[in-house]
């Protein structure tokens, strides 16, 4: 018996598992990161989607090289609980973890940058990247019918889902809304600062009445940092969602193919 224990490299007596008892696998924890044009938020999610502790936030290092941003994210999450994988919502078009566009981050180094690989090397954990609006949508859609997600923040983002599957490269922000101006130009963060809450709300209310002419959705979800400034009653098909959806969508990303869109 002693030679058997030494052969296993144990150094301690082998303790048999009691009948009927099995070692339970440790629940998987997901580090969810939401990169925005003004702020970066992060939190660790349980398997059930609850936040494990508080979220943390820093101002986005706009205009800095992507590796500076990765370093800032690494420092940001140090106070958080341990995690097993990383999900990131990114404000641009991404494919297979690589950034294709980053209109609000102010540095050409983002174009073609392999963000998934950089985070995997930094954290030594697997990482998946998705467009930030698509990730937010994963947290709120029902998966039935045509569902549109719009975010109001530094820019106007959008994601369209058909029966739970993402429709690639669908963008509302670049569509003309009025007087030759796009939805983004009329409703982005700079427009809000320029015209003020009251006029911006009037613009948004008119835009939502026009939106079904562009896409005949079954459900509309409005999120983003400026959604909290909506002052009018939305219709029965529309839901204003918490900005935390950008974090909570991190779990759904691992059960889907949306890391490539």
Supply the pLDDT for residue 169: 77
**Mind listing the pLDDT tens digit for each residue in 210-239?**
999 999 999 999 999 899 999 999 999 999
Domain at 139-245: CATH architecture = 2-Layer Sandwich (3.30)
Q: Mean pLDDT score of the chain, rounded to an integer?
A: 88
Q: What is the pLDDT of residues 151-193, one digit of tens each?
A: 999 899 999 999 999 998 788 999 999 889 999 999 999 999 9
- Computed from CA positions of residues 253, 112, 224, 40, in that sequence, does the dihedral angle turn out positive or negative? positive
Residue 4 has a pLDDT of 45
Torsion of CA 72, 78, 79, 80, to 10 degrees: 100
What is the tens place of the pLDDT at every residue in 239-252?
Answer: 999 877 778 888 88
Domain spanning 30-134+249-260 has what CATH number?
3.30.420.40
**pLDDT > 70? residue 97:** yes
> In this structure, are residues 161 and 146 in contact, taking their beta carbons and an 8 Å threshold?
yes
In the prediction, which pLDDT does 1 show?
46
| 144, 188, 212 from 218: Cα distances, Å | 9, 24, 10
Domain boundaries, the chain: 30-134+249-260, 139-245
Instruction: Decide whether 30-134+249-260 matches 139-245 in CATH topology.
Output: yes
User: Rounded CA gap, 105 and 38, in Å?
Assistant: 9
How confident is residue 83, by pLDDT bands cut at 50, 70 and 90? very high
Handedness of CA 248, 250, 255, 259 (dihedral sign): positive
């Amino acid at each position: 018996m002693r030679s058997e224990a030494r052969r296993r490299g144990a150094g301690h007596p082998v303790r048999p598992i009691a009948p009927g008892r099995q070692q339970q696998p440790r629940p998987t924890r997901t580090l969810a990161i939401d990169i925005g044009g003004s702020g970066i938020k992060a939190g660790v999610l349980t398997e059930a989607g609850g936040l494990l502790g508080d979220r943390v936030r820093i101002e986005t290092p706009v205009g800095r090289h992507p590796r500076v941003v990765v370093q800032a994210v690494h420092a940001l999450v140090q106070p958080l609980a341990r995690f097993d994988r990383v999900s990131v919502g990114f404000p641009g078009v991404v494919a297979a973890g690589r950034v294709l566009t980053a209109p609000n981050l102010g540095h050409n180094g983002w174009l073609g940058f392999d963000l998934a690989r950089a985070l995997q090397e930094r954290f030594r954990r697997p990482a998946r990247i998705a467009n930030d609006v698509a990730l937010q949508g994963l947290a709120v859609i029902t998966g039935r019918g045509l569902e549109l997600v719009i975010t109001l923040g530094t820019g106007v983002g959008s994601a369209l889902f058909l029966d739970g599957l993402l429709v690639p490269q669908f963008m509302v922000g670049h569509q003309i809304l009025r007087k030759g101006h796009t939805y983004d130009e009329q409703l982005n963060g700079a427009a809000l600062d320029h015209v003020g809450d009251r006029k911006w709300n009037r613009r948004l209310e008119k835009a939502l009445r026009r939106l079904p002419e562009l896409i005949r959705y079954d459900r509309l979800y409005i999120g983003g940092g400026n959604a909290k400034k909506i002052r009018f009653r939305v219709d029965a098909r529309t839901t204003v969602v918490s900005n935390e959806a950008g974090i909570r969508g991190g779990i759904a990303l691992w059960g889907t193919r949306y890391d490539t869109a």
